[in-house]
Amino acid sequence: MHAVAFIMKKSGSNACLLLVGFFVFAAGVRSQLTTDYYKTTCPNLPKIVRKVVQSAIMNETRMAASLLRLHFHDCFVNGCDASILLDGSDGEKYAFPNVNSVRGFEVVDAIKSAVESACNETVSCADILAIAARDSVVLSGGPSWRVSLGRRDGLVANQTGANNNLPSPTDALDTIISKFAAVGLNVTDVVTLSGGHTIGQARCTTFSTRLYNFSGTDAADTTLNSNLASQLEALCPENGDGNVTTSLDQNSTDLFDNHYFKNLLSNKGILFSDQELYSSDAAASTTMSLVESYSNSSYLFFQNFVNSMIKMGNISPLTGSNGEIRTNCRVINS
């Protein structure tokens, strides 16, 4: 089904304003990976992945966001090597930014099993995450691109790395910029990829420090729109259930568009780290002008999002004889 038709059916939103068939091809990005890596060994791979992702999103719209985030959280720790998928209490799944938060593992299992049926022991779990992330963006109404492939799967998880390297919603902008720089991503990538928050949900616990200071009831964060603050306080009472969720983009929850950036201009970023891109002192000389540009041009946002996703997908891939092709994404081969 066409992406726009799909999202209109799912959300009933005003998706007709979207750029239809917005294809941007990977140009000028250097990589050890190639877009035709499985052309002869698994020619139907794109169709197989798309079908499972589509049915997962039909079942639960939010799954698109969850799959996009899985790829991001994989790539920032030991590179894009599917280390996040490894089970075990010492794994990345149980790191603070991931536990009770990242989701989509069962969908990845379903994709892997469909792929294994067609092309036994050929396609890595890391590549599946990259394709599923792209498909999730497309099926939510966002841009498409040709995914670079040929990653192999890591043999170890890195829980400490997940705790230290992944950005936190309470991080100041300079910290976030440093965490992106540590994996080779620049300030443009920070702003652009933060636009992934145009879809998906956040738990109260990830932004409640903006609503209450812990010595009283005064709003702790003056860069949060006061009407939105009241709504969020009603949803997330002090000492309430921190797992209740709200949309990261309150304007168009399930649609991949540039409303995330428009929201920042009216102090409606949900996470402290979101609003930092526009409202912090550091933003004036770094990120603010790009937020403004994206709020005016979904075309520019889409184009840059494609470039930044390809860059992120290229973080330290395992190739050649490094790593392995896991048969079960949750465990290394025996």
Question: Interface with ligand HEM by CB under 6 A: which residues?
Answer: 62, 65-66, 68-69, 72, 101, 103, 167-169, 171, 176, 190, 193-194, 196-197, 199-203, 206, 248, 271, 273
Among 78, 26, 93, CA closest to 309 = 26
Between residues 42 and 309, which has the closer beta carbon with respect to ligand HEM?
Answer: 309
- Distance CA(314)–CA(254), nearest Å, equals 27
The owner of tokens 């890591």 is 154
Q: Which of 2, 71, 73, 259 is catalytic?
A: 73
Is 259 annotated in the active site? no
Element (H, E) at 245: strand 245-247
Element (H, E) at 114: helix 105-118
Q: At closest approach, how far in Å is the CB of 88 from ligand HEM?
A: 21
- What does each C-alpha distance from 90 to 10, 59, 94 come to in angstroms? 38, 31, 7
Amino acid present at 197: H
Between residues 124 and 201, which has the closer beta carbon with respect to ligand HEM?
Answer: 201
Q: At closest approach, how far in Å is the CB of 107 from ligand HEM?
A: 11
Q: If you ran DSSP here, which 8-state letter would residue 332 be given?
A: -
Q: At closest approach, how far in Å is the CB of 32 from ligand HEM?
A: 22
Between residues 42 and 131, which has the closer beta carbon with respect to ligand HEM?
Answer: 131
Are the C-beta atoms of residues 246 and 232 closer than 8 Å to each other? yes
Q: Is 218 annotated as a binding residue?
A: no
- Distance CA(10)–CA(128), nearest Å, equals 24
Between residues 42 and 56, which has the closer beta carbon with respect to ligand HEM?
Answer: 56
Furthest CA-CA distance within the chain = 63
Q: Is 324 annotated as a binding residue?
A: no
The owner of tokens 């048969």 is 327
Q: Is 83 annotated as a binding residue?
A: yes
Q: Is 150 annotated as a binding residue?
A: no
Residue at shortest CB range from ligand HEM: 200
Element (H, E) at 289: helix 288-296
Q: At closest approach, how far in Å is the CB of 42 from ligand HEM?
A: 26
Between residues 77 and 271, which has the closer beta carbon with respect to ligand HEM?
Answer: 271
Total residues found in the chain within this entry: 334
Q: At closest approach, how far in Å is the CB of 120 from ligand HEM?
A: 31
Which residues line the annotated binding site for Ca(2+)?
74, 77, 79, 81, 83, 92, 198, 249, 257
Which residues are the active-site residues?
73
Binding site: what residues are annotated? 74, 77, 79, 81, 83, 92, 167, 197-198, 249, 257
